[in-house]
Amino acid sequence: MMLRLVKNKVAPAAALVGMIAGGLTISHAAGSYDFDYEMKYPHWHFEGPFGTYDRAAMQRGYQIYREVCAACHGLEHVSFRHLGDKGGPYYDENYPDPNSNPYVKAFAADWLIQDIDSETGDTIERQGTPADKFPPIYPNDAAAAGSNGGAIPPDLSVMVSARGGGADYLYNLLIAYDEPKPEKMVISPGTYFNPVMDGGAIAMAAPLIDDIVEYADGTPATVDQMAADVTEFLAWTADPKMEARKNTGLMTMIYLTILAVLMWFSYRRVWRNVEH
Ligand code: HEC
């Protein structure tokens, strides 16, 4: 199976031109059937040197993860308290310590955590606390594969940085299910046509359909909106320190600029009386 990137079905030699021009089309040759998909590039709030995460979008994205994706996908590198960290979706300056943030506490308590009773040694289930990590969805890979026709839903914590194309890849993967399947292309049972997935078939049924959730903030829950929101949330889980890093970068630039100006004046002063 071959994946090549071409612009508007021109020869592969035009691929580079296409990438520079920004309008990228994914062309797969799946078996003997070719299909094209025009990648969409929404403007991400977190892009660019000063970009920050959009809090409202991240909060909606968390709702999508909780109510839709978490049926199958874990988020094992994230703890509940991270949701209330500075830069996180539920940071609240009244509760700088996320362990006391009421949203974080409520979200944690909404999950059941497998634990060991410290007195009896028995396995127990208890409500989550801010210090807990998001629990695994399945007890092991065999159970995950068994529930998903043999395919294992990957953990989503760092998915946005794990796949080439990052946020754009995830967003397009989620919205591309509507694309028409090439007529004669045969998809094996338990898989679905998705032109963004390598090979054009994925073992995940379209997870998003219009109004599958009712957004807490009243935003209309279109597939496009939900795909963008969950992508914003998962971009944050993959890089929660991005804002702090950009901030440090900015302060360093300001410092270096002031230093450069001072150096220039002292240079002028030192050489003031020297004849050229
Ligand atoms: C009913 C179970 C189920 C739900 C719900 C679900 N997924 Fe999946 N997902 C899967 C399975 C199974 C795979 C593995 C597919 C494969 O390997 O072909 C997968 C794969 C993925 C992948 C990896 C694609 C790749 O490039 O390999 C991403 C990203 C993903 N899902 C995101 C999501 C998001 C975001 C949501 C929520 C909006 C979601 N999934 C909801 C079952 C699910």
Q: Which two tokens stand for residue 31?
A: 């078996």
| Cα–Cα distance for residue pair 104/149, rounded to 1 Å | 34
Instruction: Kindly list the distances between the CA atom of residue 254 and the CA atoms of 246, 247, 250, 251, 262, in Å, as whole numbers in the listed order.
Output: 12, 11, 6, 5, 12
Please give the number of the atom of ligand 1 that sits closest to the Cα of 65: 37
What average pLDDT does this structure show over 254-275?
92
| Cα–Cα distance for residue pair 178/176, rounded to 1 Å | 5
Q: Is domain 58-252 annotated with CATH 3.10.20.30?
A: no
Amino acid, res. 57: A
Q: Domain residues of the chain, as ranges?
A: 58-252
Q: Would you state the pLDDT for residue 127?
A: 95
What average pLDDT does this structure show over 35-45?
91
> What's the CA-to-centroid distance between 73 and ligand 1, angstroms?
7
Q: What are phi and psi of 35, to 5 degrees?
A: -145, 155
Please give the number of the atom of ligand 1 that sits closest to the Cα of 201: 18
What average pLDDT does this structure show over 6-23?
41
* 3-class state of residue 135 by DSSP: coil
Q: Would you state the pLDDT for residue 32?
A: 54
Residue-wise pLDDT tens digits, 179-229: 998 888 888 889 999 999 988 999 999 999 999 999 999 999 999 999 999
> What's the CA-to-centroid distance between 54 and ligand 1, angstroms?
24
Predicted TM-score of the model (pTM): 0.86
* 3-class state of residue 160 by DSSP: helix
Please give the number of the atom of ligand 1 that sits closest to the Cα of 208: 38
> Which among 62, 24, 39 has a CA at the least distance from the CA of 235?
62
Q: Which two tokens stand for residue 92?
A: 């609240």
Q: Whose CA is nearest to atom 25 of ligand 1?
A: 197
105 band by pLDDT with thresholds 50, 70 and 90: very high
Please report the sign of the dihedral spanned by the C-alpha atoms of residue 88, residue 62, residue 191, residue 77: positive
CB-ligand 1 contact for 66 (6 Å cutoff)? no
Other CB atoms within a 10 A radius of the CB of residue 100 amount to 14
Q: What is the 8-class DSSP label of residue 133?
A: B
Q: Whose CA is nearest to atom 11 of ligand 1?
A: 153
What average pLDDT does this structure show over 138-149?
95
* 3-class state of residue 97 by DSSP: coil
* 3-class state of residue 155 by DSSP: coil
The alpha carbon of 261 is separated from its chain's Cα centroid by a whole number of angstroms, namely 40
> DSSP for 62-118?
HHHHHHTGGGT---TT-BGGGGGSTTSTT--TT--SGGG-HHHHHHHHTSEEEEE-T
Q: Whose CA is nearest to atom 27 of ligand 1?
A: 197
Cβ contacts of residue 21 below 8 Å, gap of 6+? Answer: 7
19 band by pLDDT with thresholds 50, 70 and 90: very low
Other CB atoms within a 10 A radius of the CB of residue 192 amount to 15
